[in-house]
Amino acid sequence: MIEQNVIVSNRAGVHARPSALIVQETKNFKCSIHFEKGRDRINAKSIMGVITLGASYGTVIKVIADGEDEEKAVEIITRLFESKFYEDENEGA
């Protein structure tokens, strides 16, 4: 099992579009993937779970992956959060 903290760094937080991107990425992994925020723990492969987590800008989320491809899963999810879900690419343009 691998645990990694990520920070929501896009201004709009994890709304519908980032949630869809997360689920699109996580569904390709065999391992179980969960997100924890405070006392809440959700399945990261569930779009409703990700949306209802209510992760706003600056929120710290613990990514927990367990299974044969857990390292790659955490790497991809971390990269997705670090990219700000590709939302800020045109900021300032």
The one catalytic residue among 4, 9, 15, 21: 15
Alpha helical stretches, state H, the chain: 16-26, 47-52, 70-82
**Structural contact between residues 93 and 28, judged by C-beta atoms closer than 8 angstroms:** no
Dist. CA 59–CA 53, nearest whole Å: 10
**Structural contact between residues 65 and 6, judged by C-beta atoms closer than 8 angstroms:** no
The size of the chain, in residues, is 93
Would residue 15 show up in a list of annotated catalytic residues for this protein?
yes
**Structural contact between residues 69 and 31, judged by C-beta atoms closer than 8 angstroms:** yes
Catalytic residues: 15
